[in-house]
Structure 1
């Protein structure tokens, strides 16, 4: 509520008692006592739509409790034309409606709530949201087909007092009270909703997500294959040339051991081509050579096999010629 409205109410005579009497609500029993009628007659008059509920809730027993403004009940009882409804027999036309099961309390309460919401709406989208709050979601989607407009309208959609019980065991009862049920009521709300949406479109279209235009994705070109990693090794120093061997009186056995294996000649010898008389192309022959016999491998004593007889004679002859070491 705006501050100016609060200041206006405070400036009235008899504030705050007069203001409390205006907003005071009573149930069926207190309302019947206030109007000096029975509770049954009060309920029948309320079902016929003669009393408009100001508030509704579902108690812990699942019963729907309707509350009415005291000021409106007092005003209805003070009108002389309503005396025949409060005293005596109920008219035949009204009794026929009651027999058919007419109950206009929920519809009148929804119309009161809608009027309050429309007075508080600041733009056409807010008015459309107030109308959509009373319609089933299927009807709203049928009237407003654009999903972005529905999303914007639902954002401005107010919450009714009958839907504050969501999550309880009697939430479906409150949902039924806050939603339009009659065919003529639904058709009237659909017509007003379509008119409000058209007016809102012309004034300010519903916001939509911005579309970013981007070019086609760049194709990745094949790049050159990176070279293989090089292996870094330490520089190899050249081996020093062996010093020339000095002549010594070493035995033939040591000379044979240090000399190393003799170089092996290739098995195939290349023969230079020769020109043949008659103008033919020279021929290349490969003359196989005989494989040289490998030198005998010296064996140490106790290495396994015994040396041959020729080798034992050579070793005996070398021992005789070598001088013996002097004894100390």
Structure 2
């Protein structure tokens, strides 16, 4: 094979392995104060079997981004850009056809299972609904499927749980039920939106280990949303950092932790408690508050809170630029961090 033919084959293989391609996605909501740009020009790609982390403070646009991908954002939301799932642009599909994607192709594990689950419907019926609707299973087949899923997510006494209601289960079990529902139709993409935020650290680790095991077994692509960079550190292949609806930095997770370039990423990492710090050391907080989505800022949205900001940061919007190393590492900062490599667990 010639060098040109080899390069073409490599590109074709890469494209075939690509599951999701998001280009310049924006989500705008109308409000009495004017248009709210919740997601602003986000682009990224996701391969089959890959895990992508999305990090940022509350209000950075992470959850609205994932809802925009699945077109479950508020009805009043205006979505622009492109979301190509397995080659099909979901933003161009009629909403009536999205039902064929939500469940069988992509599914979400929501942050609070107590509000995501129907409180007056037994667990079993909530799990069997998807397989019966999308996979055409009979009642008996769907029940067997639900029992199999409850065993898969390691819920004991699965037959008993099928008859119980959400309030009869612990927080960890409810989250496992949410995972079972999300996996019921064998989706290619699973989105975990702050799926372990309300759980204690022991249960959190169990849930994250479970997701990792299931992903490896099924070769699903996973988007893991979290404000906790520690959750993403050892469980994602790549991570994007969002602020004010925009991507501030994007890199392999290891490179993001060891060679971060954006001042906002640096501030988030500095806010993580360190075991080697002296006792009673004050946590390093980021001053100020996230930007108002209704405000029109001329420059970088993080500039008002950034100690390193220069005049240009307040007047020009920085574009995502690749690092000099040529790796898949991009950042949008006029005053990039220049420091020794960090350690990573």
The TM-score bracket by the shorter chain reads under 0.3
Q: TM-score normalised to the size of structure 2?
A: 0.19
Larger RCO (CA under 8 A, 6+ residues apart): 2
Structure with more of its chain in strand, by fraction: 2
Structure with more of its chain in helix, by fraction: 1
Q: TM-score normalised to the size of structure 1?
A: 0.19
